[in-house]
Chains A and B, each alone.
Chain A
Amino acid sequence: MGLLPHLVNGFALGLLFALIALGFMLILGLMEQINLAHGSLFALGAYFAYAIATPRLPLPPDMLQVWAAVPLGWRFTAAMLLAPVLVAPFGVVLERLMRRTYGRDPLYGLLLTFGVAMVIEELIRIVWGTRDYTLPVPRGISGGFMMLDLIWSTYRFWAAGFAIIAMAIVWLVIERTRFGALVKAGAHDSEIVQALGHDLERLRVWVFVLGTMMAAVAGVILAPVWGIRPHMGVDAVIPAFVIIVLGGVGSFWGAVLGGILVGMVVGLSGAYASEWSMLSMYLLLILVVTFRSRGLFGKKSVLEA
């Protein structure tokens, strides 16, 4: 049975996993806070995108009719751009709540974000109900195409391409901007950064907002593939956590490589040992941390204290 299609599939899936892990990596890597609400913010992004694209916005009927007449391509683009912006305030609130946990046992932050995740999930149930939704995809990027004598999903490849662009933007922000340099310096030595006159609190808020928006972006991109349901966040936060530990806490390239490796093992095991496909990412994690306890590119973290 041809191996190549499954390698291609694994790579594409890996890019999507890396996209999911990106926001989680930002907050964990730059602030050393484990944000278990990442999955719920991911879900919230998907729901906001659905509200904008379908459209089910709380607008007067006339305005809603006008918006509904706009081609789906534009509505989908608007959903991709606006949903993360709408989710961002949740990140601001979450960061505000987390301030009391800074410098304390990581368990406090863990418990707080776990509680917030449950609150957001319940909010979703109250607002949108328990039923499932489908985020429609513009015709140009939906359907299938032939490659290697097989039918492939066009959208999935488009999503993988978008994941590459999103990763490039995040890398540029962290590595090539003054903001990125300050944040990294703050994570390394917060006292010096504050002594130099920088507002560390504000920097932290921005990191959280960026991480939250990345979670929402991943939610929008994955929604047409996974479907939208209140507990969809759980499906995102667990792989994200595995990928970050696998790649090494705080490492951008670790998250990218971790995502691709997880995608490859999940894709290949799905094809050749399907009953192991969910378990395979955990086996990979065990294998890696057995030989490299801080993951592939991990550095010493305050979480180890």
Chain B
Amino acid sequence: MTKSRITRRGALKTSLMTAALAGTASFFGPWQKNRVWAQGKKPIKLGLTCDASGQYGNSGQDDLRGMRLAIDEFNAKGGVLGRKVEWITADTETNPATGTRVAERFIAQEQCGFLIGALHSGVANAITQVANKYGTIYMNTNSSAPSEAGENCSRVKFVWDGNGTNFSKAAVANAVQKIGKKWLLLTNDYVWGHTTAAATKLEVEKAGGQIVDNLLVPQNTRDFTAYLLKVQQIKPDVIAMAIGGDDIKALRQQIAELKLEDKAAWINNQQDWPDIWGVPETLFGVFGTNWYHKLALPGVPEFVKRWQTTYPQSPIPVPGNVSYNGYMATRELLRVIEQTGSTNNIALIKALEGRKMGAVDRMQNYDAYIDPVTHQIQQTIYLAKRNPKPVDNTDLFEVLSWTTPEAALDTASFTTCKLKPFADVPTYEQ
């Protein structure tokens, strides 16, 4: 008969091993996926990741105005699922590192169940990484790099703006045929610029055109003389710009001062309304957008009125595409929570995937839908130029065309986007 005896050394060993196993399990065990917050009438808390400074500081605040309007409308109706909708925001500074910090704080410390916002694609990607880790649903409202719904797509992220490929598809082929084949690219030197330039190049070459050069413009460039001299030396038929925020405002001012807008055709992939309103007198060329406050569509005047009543002191007097995207993303998220009757992230993601949104409801020309493969909102893409006959000082666009979601579809993203299986997404309820 063997005798078993508990020794001090043995007890220590056992406790250490148990502690080690328990620790490891807490990192790798199946229960790592679940966070359950207290239920009941606890408010639904949204983390609004908006730039207030840096290249997209102005746009970030316009994005925020759209989100807040949607939240106010739901709260005025008694909230969502009988729960008040609360929000917090912090300046992401147009800086990916700050985006990461803010997202981490919003989820881990502030217990936000959902993140909404971003203009800069680098910031959006940084927020996505954090959201991925926690399984937190993230509405990327306004960053439009094709990579956002391509190689950087995510099961938890939904991309609300039209992307560089959508706008290129709407604009390029026609311009190559009607204006000329010799194209010069002016590209902001970060992910949105790069991926948009790549999409434009593809479309230009497909249409029989040629890219003669691609001038990369570092972020926060203020003096564009070297670029404008180079543009004059190259003498392209078309200059396709993918430049945003404060950079495009400074560039437009300098082009207008030299009256270079008439020397070649300028196409700006997308012009955000806050960038236009900053220096409206320098608007020129053809540019893309996914919404305009004077679209002759049902619901547009009412929406503009509500927005203006909410923000009588806004530095931008009317909502533009940025505020619109912020509003639509927030409204649709809250609607889905209401319709699903749950804040469970998996249930909500499933409800969002493939969701159809009517043209009237979204105040656009064609019906839109959330692509289940890439999580991008496939929607109407508009091309516009400066309005020669404005009815008031905000009537800056003459809308030239509107393209169906199908015609502007970013098909390349279907192969580059790999959404992870639901089993790998941490689950939570707020």
Contact = CB atoms under 8 A, between A and B. Distances in A.
A227 B229 contact: no
Contact of A13 (B220, B225, B230, B277): B225
A296 B52 CA distance: 38
A275 interface: yes
A169 interface: no
Interface in B4-58: 53-54, 57-58
A9 B258 CA distance: 15
Interface stretch (B159-167, B170-178, B248-256): B248-256
18 contacts: A13-B225, A130-B61, A131-B277, A143-B257, A153-B225, A153-B258, A225-B253, A226-B222, A227-B246, A229-B58, A230-B57, A231-B57, A271-B227, A271-B229, A271-B230, A274-B215, A274-B218, A274-B226
- B interface bracket (residues with beta carbon within 8 Å of A): 35 or more
Nearest to B259: A144
**Which 10 pairs between the two chains have the least Cβ-Cβ distance?**
A270-B226, A132-B278, A278-B218, A275-B216, A131-B315, A144-B258, A129-B315, A226-B222, A271-B226, A274-B215
Interface of A: 1-2, 5-6, 9-10, 12-13, 16, 129-132, 134, 142-144, 150-153, 155-156, 225-227, 229-231, 235, 266-268, 270-271, 274-275, 277-279
Interface in B183-218: 189, 215-218
B180 to A, nearest CB: 20
B52 to A, nearest CB: 8
A227 B217 contact: no
Contact of A143 (B226, B233, B259): B259
B249 to A, nearest CB: 6
B110 interface: no
Interface string B223-249: 101110110110000000000001001
B419 interface: no
B229 A6 contact: yes
Interface of B: 53-54, 57-58, 61, 189, 215-223, 225-227, 229-230, 232-233, 246, 249-250, 253-254, 257-260, 263, 277-279, 281-282, 315-316
A131 B254 CA distance: 18
A77 to B, nearest CB: 20
B229 A150 contact: yes
Given A9-B229, A150-B229, A151-B232, 19 more contacts: A2-B233, A9-B226, A12-B225, A129-B315, A130-B58, A132-B278, A134-B281, A143-B257, A150-B232, A150-B233, A152-B225, A225-B222, A225-B254, A230-B57, A231-B53, A235-B222, A270-B227, A271-B226, A278-B218
Contacts of A277: 218, 221, 226
